[in-house]
Structure 1
Amino acid sequence: MNSKKFILLFFLTSFCLQAQNYSQYVNPFIGTGGHGHTFPGAIVPFGMVQLSPDTRVDGSWDGCSGYHYSDSVIYGFSHTHLNGTGVSDYGDIMLMPTMGKPSLNNKDYSSKFSHKNEKATAGFYSVKLDKNNIDVRLTTTKRVGYHEYTFNNAGNANIILDLNHRDKLMEGEVKIIDDKTIEVFRRSEAWATNQYIYARIEFSKPMKISKKQVNGKDENNLFTGTKLALAFSTTVKKGEKINVKVAVSTTGYEGAGKNMLAEGKSIDFASIQKQAVADWDKELSKIEVKSSDKDKLTVFYTAMYHVFTQPNINMDVDGKYRGRDNKFYMANGFDYYSVFSLWDTFRGAHPLMSLIDRKRTADFVNTFIKQYEQGGKLPVWELASNETECMIGYHAVSVIADAMAKGITGFDYEKAFQASKNSAMLDIFGLNAYKQNNFISIDDEHESVSKTVEYAYDDWCIAQMAKILGKKEDYQYFMKRSQNWKNLYNPKNGFMQPRKNGNWYEPFEPREVNNNYTEGNSWHYSYSVQQDIPGLIAAHGGKEKFEQFIDAIFSAPDKTTGREQVDITGLIGQYAQGNEPSHHIAYLYNYVGKPEKTDAKIKFILDNYYKNAPDGLIGNEDCGQMSAWYILSSMGIYAVTPGLPEWQTTKPYFDEVKIHLEDGTTRTITKNTGREELKKLGFENAKSFKDFKYDELTATPVISAARIFDLNTKVEITALNPDDKIYFMTLDEGDANVRKMFTAYKGPFTITRTTQVAAYAERNGEKSSIVRANFNRRPNNWDITVNSTPTPQYTASGKLSLIDGINGDANWRKGEWLGYQGQTFEAIIDMKSPQQITQLSSTYLQDSRAWILIPKKVEYYVSNNGKDFILLKTVDNTLDPKDETAQVKEFSAEVLPTQARYVKVKAYHFGKLPEWHQGAGGDAYIFIDEISVK
């Protein structure tokens, strides 16, 4: 492209941002159907209040936001909601207008509604409640929700305040200030286990308490308890309006009062709505797209609306906020935020913000640093000043590295680096094994493949920070760690494959969704080397072979196997647009010189998986990531590697895009804009920093043999790189105190006793980590018949796992347990000849939240012919099913000396999950591991 043409197509201009009316294209109903998990209520950009109707109170997956388009009943209007998450929470400070005799039962105060009488626009929501013919209109500022209720019939009007709405109320308080003002405190438990919210509620006319439900204090206009609901009533004329303002705070009543004074003085609903629209237009005007297709404009601007829904401002107007340690702090020089879905948003939403909102990106990083200082580590999935520990990785470091690489200032780089390094050096979630062994195996931690590859990317991000700060040793250390993916890359098949007991885990099916991956399978994670795509290409044997591997994911059968995973949606072959691990894969064609294939795939996804309809999102919105992918891809760019100040590119989707940056300049993109121009879009002036040399990782060898054997087994050790030399040692069961040395491996060898084999590989003086494998000679020659059918995901190493002498631990996801759902477990052990028995035991697991419950009772029988069994002992369960601690319990029975050849174990399953359980009505599991006969 010649320079004149470039100047015409892609130019910098000085620009004074004039907000356009782009809010007209926002359709808040997009994503409220299907599995989008969005909500339609009134919000302003990044606001603390999300004022929206609740149609779901059961905590169901498709009700995570509190609303689903398929519903026809509204329970009330609450002030906090989550945007497209996969776990349910929020729905705080719920109000509901009714008429007639008040009731505090949600089946009575709820109302039918029709979508034809419902409207949602940017900053506004309205609906008619059919039961009592009440028109509801909602709008909001950052911290104050505005309600307008029009009672179309004369009579007794009620406003219900139910603090038991949706999640579990730990503490509740209502203080009556006067007949038009109340204060409310709610501490609740759901996904965020200790969430605080305070509110000041002001009615436009005097209201009297007409009904109450209180299980605590009830005196002097003060009500407390864990069951707390009140009805406030007055008489109304036909057509009369009652306005309600609700200011929220996480710090206390004083904070709610200050927020009300700052943002709740107006009595003009229309002016507040107008200001909300103006706030949206200001944000949405940062990117202007041109199209003759109104649906495309709606999809684009609703996507921006969803990205700007969160994180949410989480401080009072004076900067006071509740920290991660539940103490109070003042935010000086930055805004403090909450709701960081970082496993999702590091991929696209945060890179988008680094382009169009650098100041807010710095605020996010400052929030991270404060959460590290106050809570001990960077956020993983932070919600309402709680760390949920949801999802994997420590992806706050990606956001920080991306900001530093792109020259974003306004935060302390050194503090950010130290906080990031801290996350990488902890001993949680498999990190200890990862640091020692350079990968995580199934034996160490569940979701081992996903954690290994995502930790490796995060380590690369920390290395980039170290490079920027000139920290040579840190750079070298983390760059070496960033290569740990090589230990799970199987060169024989090209997949990231789990390892167990030193070997590859078999049987291996890349389509299988199981506990070795996070919300996915090997197809989804075998491309997750964002930090080193050239290295991944080389591992596959070059660009041509890697291109075939990318082709393969799109052409594979579009059905997964293994566990049903609701997050895996939008399948093209095994590519899943509905879940985040796939989001960068179509762009990998650029790395093999086939950008036309990237263009075709991206256009297909843009055309087919984003629509102007309630089910217009193909998967969970996930706090803006699903929409950020659309925004970036439609502009012709995407961040395959956040932490690099450059984009991967595709053909722009719109006729023209104007991006207005914070420095007052504008970038213009058309369909003819060249890829090289797009590659540095917005980061043309990003600095380059000196690279330091670092060591290449030598991959750890694989040890294969029968884990349990009868007489002997052959051990074979294989290097993952044919140029590596292998060294090994063995430690037999009988010579634990003998000091042994590693010797060169010459070829396969046979062992006849229980043995540990250790090995490492070496290339050019660089040693791999040491891998250890244990091979056990069977402690007996017994046989076992199991008369129950295990769930396919939970079969351990087969039925012999029940009598192999190897015990599973409380982390059942490692795969050592046999799991049986909805059935009583029964097994018969044949000891081959009569034995004297004095003790019988079997081991079970309880993880109530995962539907795994200890059996009601266990019976032990014996027989000499395998047909006629005598009951020797019954052991009853004493563990409370409500105990949510994951724990192992042995059911042991001492018996009088008894001669028998056969032992039967019968464990009675818990049955249906009770009402108090989140999975109420579902069938509980029995998890059993070891049966012992002495």
Structure 2
Amino acid sequence: MPALKFAHRSVLTFIILSAVVFTASAQKQKTENKKIKDYAQLVDPFIGTGGHGHTYPGAVLPFGMVQLSPDTRLTGWDGCSGYHYTDTVVYGFSHTHLSGTGDLDYCDVLFMPTTGEPRFKNTDYLSGFKKKNEEASPGYYKTLLDKYNIGVELTATTRVGVHRYNFPSTPNANIIIDLQHRDEVLDSWIEVVNDHEIRGFRKSGSWAADQQVYFYAKFSKPFKTYGIASDDQVQEGKNKLEGKNIKMYLQFDNPGEVIAKVGISAVSTDGALKNLDAEVPDFDFKKVQKAAKTAWNTELNKIQVEGGAPTVAQATQAAQTDIRVSNKPNAKRPAIPDYAKIKQTIFYTALYHTMLAPSIYNDVDGQYRGLDQKVHTAQGFNYYTVFSLWDTYRAEHPLLTLIDKKRTLDFIKTFLAMYEQGGLLPMWPLASNETFAMIGNHSIPVIVDAYAKGIRDFDAAKAFTAMKAAVNRDQFGLDDYRNDGVVLADTIDLSVSKTLEYAYDDWCIAQMAKMLDKPQDYTEYIQRAQYWKNVYNNQNGFMQARVNGGWVSPFEPTEVNRNYTEGNAWQYAFMVPQDVESLMAWMGGKQVFETKLDELFTTESKLSGNAVPDVTGLIGQYAHGNEPSHHMAYLYNFTDSPDKTQLYIDRILREEYSEKPDGLAGNEDCGQMSAWYVMSSLGFYNIAPGQSQFQIGIPQFDKAVIYLENNKKFTITNPGASISRANIYLQGMNLAKKAYNKLYLNYNDIADGGEFEVFTGKLSNKMFLQDIEKPFSKIADDLIVANPYIIAPSKDFKQPISIQIKSADAGAKIYYTLDGSIPNSNSLLYNQPVNISTNTTVKAIAILNGKSSFIDEANFVKVN
């Protein structure tokens, strides 16, 4: 049915609503009076703790500094968060954890309650626990230590972890505090202040080479004795001890319940104490737990969803009709799950995961430790850490630009502080360290995307200077990229991925230059944004590494190797979100492009090459378990078959996410994996942050309301979401009660509030889709001329060889030299293969319409 008819159905409502004039204050009151629902009860923190999700189940507030959680695993890739759902022993409860990373760090300042004689080796003081005794909800965790029969409950504020231990009757109730736990300790100390308080410091080196954590702890009951150990030996008479293997025990006499509250800081123990006293002034565990739940519900209610699948009643009715059962009179049918609740659990757990990182890093007084390892004070903003930017720029940050503008502004101010104090915009900052993990300079798209969407209360000129400094330094192949238009595999690993990611960052800088009215900068960086062409092999349609003037050979697109970041040529074949239509043209047009996408999703070829655990969640060679694939299903929107976007998005949502502990296809990656689910479930996704266009997919809920910070709300409805699983194809759309015929929403369509109605059905509506307006993603065709490439049997030869020089730019003329000199339009014109019989340096350029490519160079050596 055409979309226009849907608009006619609600024309009366539209007219009535149009006649009502809401004042700004009335609209504000209406939004503020929204009913806060208990979505925290739908969150399951155990989702992602199994498989390779690498999440943790412990107590944390939204974007909190403290992540108080059990540590069950100390080493290994699946121990990155310190916890894995399959584990059955726990070493203790530490105060910092990373959510879904692929490297190990944190798990600082471990507390472990025990009974009997205090022991300091973790293999001695660990305890078994049973899954049936574990509970977790936002801001709360509970377990029972089988070895000691001690009940443990955890909750948290932003900067304070609160423990509640219920000891059995015993004169020797202990709390072990282990500062050696987990990664390498560079320095530490601990001190007893009085019989209720201790404080300490831990400096460690792991992923973050120099991480400093100060802590201050207070206990609800006095400890009768204590001991501080070095190298697991108690040093008698010491109330303070320093070293690299410092641990201690506190012992209570039949205390029953003991509450420990622990403030942390990167600045000082005084800072930790200020945090502690400001956020938890008493020992009321329930009050802290209740406040944590309230804080989470405030955040989770920024998006309210309804329906999404058949209810229990609907499913039961369907089962009575469709499921054959035994004719026995007392035969029982299997229980019918509440699919809507399951789907909402996955959604709200995903939304919860998007709010675990980045983490606040400044104390209550604004002090923080910067990347220069000096103490600074944040003025008027919160300073953050744990930015997994290679992952999170894709969906996590675009989501937050919609629902958390103030925090996004703080992120950008944090980036600029890091630039001032460390000399570089962040890549992957952790604690007070730049880890340089992953590739690209992806604080750039976060800044540009925010600026494009109206978040502008920061020094844009300084940000622009910082962006250019980030991409014009000589590091990680950036010098090759600028000088040759491509990162060369001859000397630099991950060269294809780096070239593609650098080109995207440059496109973002070009967009910023346009917004700041800097035409000269725009011209420079929009040209660089097409350097992706220099790794595109028009002979096979893949992004391929360049080596010795040609292509790496042999080449197998399924091979995971040193030329790609956690992936292969398939997973980077479409990594040009800023220039999709040009890529499509280079591949041979819409049909060829669509066929290539089809093959991506349907090929039966298997991964080959290096075994990289990140490449998971495979549908064909599409790898949803890793971020480079995340935009690809939306690319069908550029073709004549956008219904395939709807088909594959729905399939990915169903197959790659579940309500189980292994319910994530790959690493959570600090919110990105879950942000993809949140955005795609709402029905739209920004494939190229830095522009205001959101691709339309397929909304997964009957109704979803986004409550915006401008006191407006954007409502998405899809009545077909609860009818059956077959309603996955668009039949029509209305925006603001008017027929809508675009496959994208602009940012202002959402930010201005309103209603987006989507109607779905069992079959693809080709008639509706054939005239729909496609999204746009194109840079002018002729901004650069691609580098030519040289085809040769080998670099070294005994007998004379013949080489060819080709260009992916149709119509380009190729000029070359054989003596190492710089070629120009007066050099030899290539028109047939060239014979090489001696040591030779070949240099070539391609010229088209008066524009020249970069120089392509190959060296051939005759051997005896």
TM range (shorter): 0.7 to 0.9
**Kept in 2: contact 1:76–1:95 (CA 8 A):** yes
1:410 CA drift (Å): 2.0
Matches of 2:36 and 2:458 in 1, distance apart?
29
Query: Which residue is 2:819 aligned to?
Result: 731
Q: 1:721 aligns with which of 806, 809, 825?
A: 809
- Cα shift readout 1:579-603 (whole Å, capped 9, x = no counterpart): 1111000000001132211011011
Is residue 796 of structure 2 the alignment partner of residue 708 of structure 1?
yes
Q: Give the match's secondary structure for 2:188.
A: strand
Preserved CA contact (<8 Å) 1:433 1:440:
yes
Does the CA contact (< 8 Å) of 2:139 and 2:289 recur in 1? yes
Q: Distance in 2 between matches of 1:665 and 1:629?
A: 23
Please state whether the residue corresponding to 1:31 is helix, strand or coil.
coil
Which among 783, 791, 795 is matched to residue 696 of structure 1? 783
| Deviations 1:677-712 (CA, angstroms, capped at 9, x unpaired) | 88336523989xxx9989611000011222000132
The residue type paired with residue 644 of structure 2 is K
Which structure's residues are more often helix, by fraction? Answer: 2
Q: In structure 2, how many angstroms separate the alpha carbons of the residues matched to 1:685 and 1:627?
A: 21
1:266 Cα offset (Å): 2.2
**Residue 243 of structure 2 is aligned to residue 225 of structure 1:** yes
SS for the counterpart of 1:37 is: coil
Shift in Å, 1:208: 4.7
- How high is the sequence identity, in percent, across the aligned residues? 48
Q: CA deviation at 1:209?
A: 4.9
Residue 679 of structure 1: aligned partner? 744
The question of whether the paired residues in 1 share the 8 Å contact of 2:202 and 2:214 is answered with yes
SS in 2 for 1:523: coil
Query: Which amino acid in 1 is paired with 2:210?
Result: N
Question: Who is 1:766 aligned against?
Answer: 851
Between the aligned partners of 1:298 and 1:571, the Cα distance in structure 2 is: 24
User: For 2:818, what is the secondary structure of its paired residue?
Assistant: strand
The TM-score, its normalising length taken from structure 2, stands at 0.86
**Contact conserved, 1:119 with 1:125, CA < 8 A, in 2?**
yes
Residue aligning to 1:579 = 626
Between the aligned partners of 2:38 and 2:605, the Cα distance in structure 1 is 41
Matched position secondary structure for 1:680: strand
Report the CA distance shift for 1:122/1:204 in structure 2 as closer, same or farther (over 3 A): same
1:404 aligned partner: 451
Three-state SS of the structure 2 residue aligned to 1:774 is strand
Amino acid at match of 1:660: Y
* Matches of 1:535 and 1:482, distance apart in 2: 12
8 Å CA contact 2:488–2:547 kept in 1: the answer is yes
1:372 counterpart SS class:
helix
Any conservation in 2 of the 1:558–1:571 contact (CA below 8 Å)?
A: no
Cross-structure match for 2:254: 236
718 and 681 in structure 1: CA distance in 2 versus 1, 3 angstrom threshold: closer
Distance (Å, rounded) in 2 between the aligned partners of 1:256 and 1:144 = 8
Q: 1:623 and 2:659 equivalent?
A: no
Cα separation, partners in 2 of 1:693 and 1:501, compared to 1, 3 Å: closer
3-state DSSP class of the match of 1:759?
strand
Distance 1:251 1:284 in 2: 31
Determine the C-alpha separation between the residues in 1 that align with 2:607 and 2:215.
46
Structure 2 counterpart of 1:277 = 293
How far is the alpha carbon of 1:359 from its aligned partner? 1.1
Higher RCO (C-alpha under 8 Å, 6+ residues apart): 2
Equivalent of 2:437 in 370, 390, 412: 390
Map Cα deviations across residues 901-927 of structure 1 (whole Å, 9 max, x no partner): xxxxxxxxxxxxxxxxxxxxxxxxxxx
Deviations 1:879-922 (A, max 9, x none): xxxxxxxxxxxxxxxxxxxxxxxxxxxxxxxxxxxxxxxxxxxx
Q: Which amino acid aligns with 2:853?
A: S
Q: State the 1:673 CA deviation.
A: 4.4
| Change over 3 Å in CA distance of 1:593–1:359 after alignment to 2 | farther
- Give the deviation of 1:605 after TM superposition: 1.0
Cα offset, 1:556, TM superposition: 1.2
Superposed CA offset, 1:159-201 (max 9, x none): 0011110011101011211111111101101100000110001
SS of structure 2 residue aligned to 1:155: coil
CA shift in 2, pair 1:249/1:678, >3 Å = farther
Aligned 8 A contact 1:472 1:692 in 2: no
Residue deviations 1:180-227 (CA, integer Å, cap 9, x gap): 111110110110000011000111122255443226998752210001
Q: Does 1:538 align with 2:607?
A: no
The residue type equivalent to 2:521 in the other structure is: D
Contact 1:324/1:385, CA 8 A, preserved across alignment: yes
Give the C-alpha shift of residue 657 in structure 1.
0.3
Shift of 1:417: 1.0
Post-superposition offset of 1:402 = 0.5
The structure with more strand, counted as a fraction of residues? 1
Distance (Å, rounded) in 2 between the aligned partners of 1:219 and 1:465: 63
AA paired with 2:836? I
SS in 2 for 1:624: helix
CA contact (8 A) 2:714 2:750 kept: no
Equivalent pairs, count:
770
Residue 27 of structure 1 and its aligned partner are, at CA, apart by: 0.3
Match of 2:860 among 770, 775, 780: 775
Aligned with 1:758: secondary structure? strand
Contact 2:824 2:845 in 1 (8 A): no
Deviates more, 1:464-473 or 1:492-501: 492-501
Q: CA deviation at 1:441?
A: 1.7
Matched, 1:749 2:765: no
The answer to whether the 8 A contact 2:582-2:779 is kept is: no
TM-score by length of 1: 0.80
Gaps of 5+ in 1: 781-934
Which of residues 357, 362, 380 in structure 1 aligns to 2:409? 362
Check conservation: 1:463, 1:475, Cα contact below 8 A.
yes
Please, which runs of 5 or more residues in structure 2 have no aligned partner? 312-339, 719-731, 735-739, 753-777
Task: Give 1:325 shift.
Answer: 0.4
- In the alignment, the residues of structure 2 paired with residue 283 and residue 302 of structure 1 have an alpha-carbon distance, to the nearest angstrom, of 12
Indicate the residue corresponding to 1:199 in structure 2.
Answer: 215
Give the C-alpha shift of residue 743 in structure 1.
2.5
389 and 714 in structure 1: CA distance in 2 versus 1, 3 angstrom threshold: same
Give the superposition deviation at 1:740: 13
**Corresponding residue number in structure 2 for 1:167:** 183
Cα 1:615/1:686, change in 2 over 3 Å: closer
Q: Partner amino acid for 1:65? A: S
AA aligned opposite 2:808 = L
Q: Could you say which residue in structure 2 is the equivalent of 1:116?
A: 132
Residue by residue over 1:790-822, the C-alpha shift from the partner in whole angstroms, topping out at 9 and shown as x without a partner, is: xxxxxxxxxxxxxxxxxxxxxxxxxxxxxxxxx
Residue 288 of structure 1 is matched in structure 2 by: 304
Give, in whole Å, the separation in 2 of the partners of 1:746 and 1:386.
Answer: 54
Post-superposition offset of 1:676: 5.3
